[in-house]
A and B are shown apart, each in its own frame.
Chain A
Amino acid sequence: MGDATMSKPVPVRHLHVGPEFHAEQHIHPEPTSFLSRYVFSKDHKVIAKQFLWYGLFFLVMGGVMAMMIRWQIAFPGTAFPVLGQLLWPQSGGVMPPQSYAAFFTMHGTLMIFFAITPILIGAFGNLLIPLMIGARDMAFPTLNLMSFWTNVLAGLCMIVSFFVPMGPAAGGWQSYPTLSTLVGSPGHGQTLWILGIFLTGSASIMGAVNYITTVVRLRAPGMGYFQMPLSVWGIWLTAILNALFVPVLAAGVLLLFLDRVFGSHFFLAGASITKGGGDPVLYQHLFWIFGHPEVYILILPAWGIVSDLLSFFSRKPAFGYKATALSMSVITLLSMVVYGHHMFVVGMSPLLSQGFMTLTMLISIPSAVFFLNWLGTMWRGSIRFATPMLFSLGVVFVFGLGGLTGLHLGAISSDIYLHDSYFVIGHFHLTMAASVLLGAFAAIYFWFPKMFGKMMNETLGKWHFWLTIIPITIVFCGMLVVGYAGMQRRLYNYEAYEFLKHLHPINVWITRAALLLGASQFLFVGNFLSSLISGKKAAENPWEVGTLEWTIPSPPPHHNYDEIPVVLHGPHEFNNPAVTGKDWLAQDEPIGDEPVALGAVGN
């Protein structure tokens, strides 16, 4: 393609355009009232910002809880500075065991469903899908609005649960019955938790339907599936998993709700009932049928974003783009058939356990493919180490650690020892907390200019990166170590056990690193807020990349595109030899006089 000379006739490119395309893409007038503009907005860009603020709020809440949990582990019997006195004056600021249980339960719940999900899926899903595929908005703007406000109701359920008698849910974020039934959790906290999960699940399903439809129907002419940026691929696959598996969770918690409120016996067994009875392990099956795909629901958007950013900042096309997209799709499929590896010690049939183990191991193949493609993208690139790139490299690093430690837990005989230990905590935080969080930071630093029209401070960004990646690695690798040493998760005071006492110094170091990690996030908060107010004005395309959102002003106008763009290239055309004067090429930018014909070819 490099040797396109003027003498040869260039074949006319026929671009795929769905017949419904033009009819659906009206330009709607911009709303004028404050409420319809900023509160009950149907504009995907405004909803994206709402989700971002919403997610960041819960990220702070979940983060502070994590600090308090770590404080209790390392310094039991001492008051958490300032907040301890406010929350538990009756015990002199020391966290009581009931609060500890409530905090680790709500930390997990809030981080997964109310911080990571809103930021990566809610905010960046909303922002990126229409902008990157060249659409004026989501397919269903009203549904989008409902999705956000349903989420707000869900968040309110969770917050209110902190103020009811006996406090919030305290049976772990999975809320296994029978502990989460009235047998183990009286009070309204657990019921509110169920309502909150049900509502946020409904919101996720609304979002998923919207995202899937938008990607399928509203791609700009010429934007085939394999011209989509990998970010869109990741978010789209996440939406598919959400649509398929969140209903399973919703069904599970609904049955739990019936058990709690209407006295049914779906999950009740044992001494609490006199005859008949259900099976608490049934809930675990329902939970993990959802729960394993959920891991990928959280990580797929980050994978997609990182795949794009590595290419953008290496100034090189994504290596093996199709193979990356397809291996993400294969992982999406595999994630549906491996959930049993969460249940090796519940007493499942040995045949099932062995089947799940073998299927689990298959995930290595597509994972290896896109890891190699990430490294291949950097190979012979011309790498610019801007803050988003640093965070993307951080994702590759911590996800490498997290992914590999999954092997220990995927094999039955080592899992039996490591199950429910801190090894599990270290592993899943590396995969779905550390890498997702770093991915979210990469995305925020990268698209902040497009979202808010201002640049973030690069120096602060780089400090933030180093002061995050170092402690985050220490924290979660430290957990792998104490987990291997045998320490169970969810212990208010592990020193109750003789065999864990010697782990004290390691636990203290983990806590110190965690406190540093927490403190360094002030760099981000400060940078975010000050850039918002007085950041340098962002140009249209400050990173010099070619995806469609960078061809329109920062921030984009209400209707995104004056003219729906016509896509001519893939998203990563860097250093294309046919282009002169710059090293990037916008997706809708013709090279020379390449003729293009728009026609209803359909697909």
Chain B
Amino acid sequence: MHQWPFSWLTTVDVSRDGWRAEALFWYTTLLCVIAFALVTFALVYSSWKYRARPGVKALYTHGTDRKSFAVTGILAALVFVTIDMNLVRVSQADVKEYTYNWPVSPDTVRIEVMPQQWAWNIRYAGPDGVFNTADDVVTLNEMRVPVGRPVMLNLKAKDVIHSFYIPNFRLKQDANPGYVTRTWFQALQPGNFEIACSQMCGWAHYKMKGDLIVEPEADFERWMKEAEGDAKRRFDPADREQLWGWEWVQ
């Protein structure tokens, strides 16, 4: 597991890929601290050194000579190459290897999430592997996933825009009304974690909490069996509202 500065501030990262955000954050912070220290030093030093004193005149220069241009140009280029291009490089690797690298392995857990004011509707495909059918397992504000398997989500909001946020996974994805967005993660250790909404969704936005329960594979399978049994018994074909799911978007 990675160790980051000020780890008492943040939640425990229990995901396979959360380190990417942390690594880039601290890398950026390091570069920023260096740049800002230099600027502040120059600011304070010149303020002191070049304060108005009797008998000392300011230098008459417009800074338009070749040397000034060269120094400014080189420093600006240096900032761009060492800071910006590096961040782009790291972030590009992250999105290629993780963010947009949708899991395709057969053990992927697929979940549809439909947030509404102010709750999380959660749907598993059930034994037939097809969403929006009678055997789907549906829960409210409770998402269960196994340790060590990739979990892919399809999100679509019912009413207003919400954002699915799991701090322990350093992950966030908006859910919009009208079309499906996707995201994925993989847990490395079991535990109970919070699902938060991070997009303003009305006055009770702050109460829109859910539970993410990460459990060992065997416990998850046992729960799923039981839930599938319940789902069959509970399904009411007359209630169209129940079928809020959609065709899976890979």
Contact = CB atoms under 8 A, between A and B. Distances in A.
B179 to A, nearest CB: 7
Given A365-B76, A380-B59, A357 B91 contact: yes
A451 interface: no
Contact of B51 (A269, A383, A404): A383
B182 interface: yes
A459 interface: no
B105 interface: no
A317 B60 contact: yes
B86 to A, nearest CB: 10
A229 B29 CA distance: 35
Interface string A374-417: 01111111111100000001001100110011011011111011
B223 interface: no
Contacts of A376: 63, 68, 72
Contacts of B10: 484-486
B133 interface: no
A416 B25 contact: no
B159 A417 contact: no
Interface stretch (B31-39, B135-143, B214-222): B31-39
Given A323-B69, A380-B59, A178 B167 contact: no
A411 B88 contact: yes
B207 A372 contact: no
A434 to B, nearest CB: 15
Interface in A561-603: 570, 572, 574-577, 583
A407 B53 contact: no
Nearest to A482: B9
Interface in B168-211: 168, 170-174, 176-179, 181-182, 194, 196-207, 209
Interface stretch (A57-65, A86-94, A209-217, A493-501): A493-501
Interface stretch (A12-20, A46-54, A270-278): A270-278
Nearest to A576: B60
B250 interface: no
Interface residues of A, number: 106
A490 B162 CA distance: 13
B87 interface: yes
Nearest to B197: A488
B213 to A, nearest CB: 14
Given A170-B203, A385-B51, A491-B205, A368 B174 contact: no
Q: Which of B22, B60, B200 gathers most chain A CB within 10 Å?
A: B200
Interface in A334-351: 345-347, 350
Nearest to B6: A484
A100 B200 CA distance: 12
A490 B57 contact: no
B130 interface: no
Contacts of A502: 8
Given A361-B80, A379-B50, A184 B202 contact: yes
Interface stretch (B40-48, B144-152, B228-236): B40-48
Q: Which of A315, A414, A572 gathers most chain B CB within 10 Å?
A: A414
Interface in A417-431: 417-421
Given A385-B51, A401-B36, A368 B76 contact: yes
B61 A272 contact: no
Contacts of A323: 63, 69, 72
B97 to A, nearest CB: 10
B227 interface: no
Interface residues of B, number: 95
Given A364-B79, A376-B72, A384-B52, A417 B209 contact: no
Contacts of A365: 76-77, 79-80
Contacts of A368: 75-76, 79-80
A417 B17 CA distance: 12
A278 B176 CA distance: 12
Interface in A275-306: 277-281
B161 A280 contact: yes
A419 B198 contact: yes
Contacts of A184: 117, 159-160, 201-202
Q: Which of B69, B182, B196 gathers most chain A CB within 10 Å?
A: B196
B16 interface: no
A350 B173 contact: no
Contacts of B171: 416-417
B50 A345 contact: no
Contacts of A491: 205-206
A97 B206 contact: yes
A178 B32 contact: no
Interface in B112-133: 116-117
A372 B50 contact: no
A553 interface: no
A400 B91 contact: no
B99 A416 contact: yes
A371 interface: yes
A178 B28 CA distance: 35
A488 B62 contact: no
A474 interface: no
Given A279-B178, A414-B28, A574 B160 contact: no
Contacts of B63: 317-321, 323, 373, 376-377
B28 A369 contact: no
Contacts of B11: 486, 499
Contacts of A183: 159-160
A364 B77 CA distance: 9
A374 B222 CA distance: 66
A178 B179 CA distance: 13
Contact of B90 (A322, A364, A413): A413
A98 interface: yes
A378 B50 contact: yes
16 contacts: A98-B203, A179-B160, A183-B159, A345-B172, A347-B179, A361-B87, A369-B76, A375-B43, A376-B72, A393-B43, A401-B36, A408-B24, A416-B171, A417-B22, A419-B163, A488-B165
Given A376-B72, A490-B205, A499-B11, 6 more contacts: A270-B177, A271-B177, A272-B159, A413-B21, A413-B95, A499-B168
